Amino acid sequence: MTTRDALDVVLQELPDERLSQVLDFARYLSSRTETEAWQQFGRSQLAKAYGPDEPEYTLDDVKRGLVE
């Protein structure tokens, strides 16, 4: 029995209220997967833009007036 088959068996036994909760959680998992993909993409783009030799900046490097 596959996971999908086992899930179908469990879903058949749940009342509508619980099915609604399962649907909400499934949507959450789906959006989380997409969010993680975008975060990984952002990290890879940042890594391309800035290498390991990037200087460390301090508050002294920021223009006066922007931090006050």
What local confidence, expressed as pLDDT, does residue 20 receive? 96
What local confidence, expressed as pLDDT, does residue 66 receive? 62
- Domain around 35: 3-61
DSSP 8-state secondary structure symbol assigned to residue 65: T
In a domain, 55, yes or no: yes
**pLDDT, averaged across the chain:** 88
In a domain, 15, yes or no: yes
In a domain, 68, yes or no: no
Residue-wise pLDDT for 23-66, tens only, equals: 999 999 988 988 999 999 999 998 888 877 888 888 888 776 66
Buried b (16+ CB within 10 A) or exposed e, 28-55: eeeeeeeeeeeeeeeeeeeeeeeeeeee
Report the domain count for the chain.
Answer: 1
Q: Flag whether pLDDT at 67 surpasses 60.
A: no
